[in-house]
Amino acid sequence: MALEIPSPRKVGMVSLGCPKALVDSERILTRLRADGYAMSPDYAGADVVLVNTCGFLDSAKEESLNAIGEAIAENGRVIVTGCMGNEAELIRARFPKVLAVTGAHQYEAVVEAVHEAAPASLGPYIDLIPQADPGEVKLTPRHYSYLKISEGCNHACAFCIIPQLRGKLASRRIDAVLREAEKLVAAGTRELLVISQDTSAYGVDVRHEERQWKDRAVRTHMTDLARELGQLRSPDGQTPWVRLHYVYPYPHVDAVIPLMAEGLLTPYLDIPFQHAAPSVLKAMKRPANEAKVLERLRAWRAICPDIAIRSSFVVGFPGETEADFQYLLDWLDEAQLDRVGGFRFEPVAGASANDLPGAVPDAVKEERYARLMEKTEAISAARLAAKVGRTLPVIIDEVGEPDEDGDIGATGRSQADAPEIDGAVYLRQVPATLQVGDIVPVTVEDADAHDLYGFVAGS
């Protein structure tokens, strides 16, 4: 009688929140797959469901709680992890059937909870057979990958509880980061998105220790990391895009701009300014050197004219006056940022901002948010209109099916566009040979407030 080999246990995953949480989800699933688990694309096929939560804002917490409730209703066997894991009592009070609750980036605890809930052992006949390396699980498309360089944050911003959720800054070894990046590029990644809570502070906690990489010593420092990432090449000899996120404008950031001008780094910086009015920045417990920032933006653009600056701003912070808000609008006129996200201030349990006087009424927040969006859309529209007629490199995210005339459309992004958060480039009549992940020259023929439209040059 032939031995019947049982099917592996299956794990489902719901991943919420920021790209850093997405990287956590990838690492958890990679570990589980190495332990013999398979992945389930739906609730019905899963032996256990993981919900990786976000706890940054109350609205994000509610979304996480809704996701937990849906997973329990659809499957019943749920393990909760992520930033809301520090509120285990709240989660268990609302969902007593949850199997386990663990905190952010507690990979071992999550894996242990899965082993306990759905043991992976397939029996002695199978476990004794060496398993092939399953590779890492990716939750992003093959052509771009998030590269997390550190956990936690040393800042004490009044509106934020990230240090409470994820702890103080803990930098990864630079040789480990570079090894991961090299492996990703060799496997087909054409765009690396460097993420952390504070990319500029990388290595501060380990005093910028040196590690051996290849035939040289490299410091655990943002500038050394950027320089080394700029040396990576794909198997066909191409330079991958390297995009820096969550960059605080410390003085040493100036050193990466020439790397962008040389084509070694993607000319893009994601800088969380949050506001411009000195009084608001002081209340937020953030640096208030907005005038010097404007000078540096001008200097960066002189070195690398194509650099794109993305940022986000909070309106309605406690104590924000109409004069403060107008200061922000005037500052944006000067800064001419390429991409801007806006947020209405939202109290977060545990944040010191909740105790500040001068709460801004919701109606005023909404009115200021609308004015912020109107201002930044106008700036974006003008900056994009200036690109009409130019030919820009574009990475392809999606290729459509031929229409009734045989024409094929595609969607991509310029170097000024990070995935999921910025704009897109829409292409018409692309070659049939075009594939997702290709980086091609695109001639821009039209633009709106957020997106570009064009065709592959020479096609």
Residues of each annotated binding site for [4Fe-4S] cluster:
18, 54, 83, 153, 157, 160
Closest among 240, 181, 231, 241 to 417, alpha carbons compared: 241
291: CB partners within 8 A, 6+ apart: none
Looking at 298-372, which runs of residues are DSSP E strands?
308-315, 339-344
Query: Where would I find the H helices in 75-153?
Result: 88-94, 107-117, 124-127
Using N-to-C axis directions, what is the helix angle for 107-117 and 19-34, rounded to 10°?
50
According to DSSP, the β-strands at 268-270 and 452-456 are: unpaired
Tokens of 123: 């029996």
For residue 252, the 8-state DSSP code is G
For residue 5, the 8-state DSSP code is P
Contact between 104 and 24 under an 8 Å Cβ cutoff? The reply is: yes
Residues 276 and 376: their CA atoms lie apart, in Å, by 14
Annotated binding site: 18, 54, 83, 153, 157, 160
Looking at 97-207, which runs of residues are DSSP E strands?
100-101, 144-148, 150-151, 170-171, 191-195
SS3 444: strand
Residues belonging to the chain: 459
Backbone angles phi, psi at 131, to 5 degrees: -95, 140
362: CB partners within 8 A, 6+ apart: 316, 344
Looking at 97-208, which runs of residues are DSSP E strands?
100-101, 144-148, 150-151, 170-171, 191-195
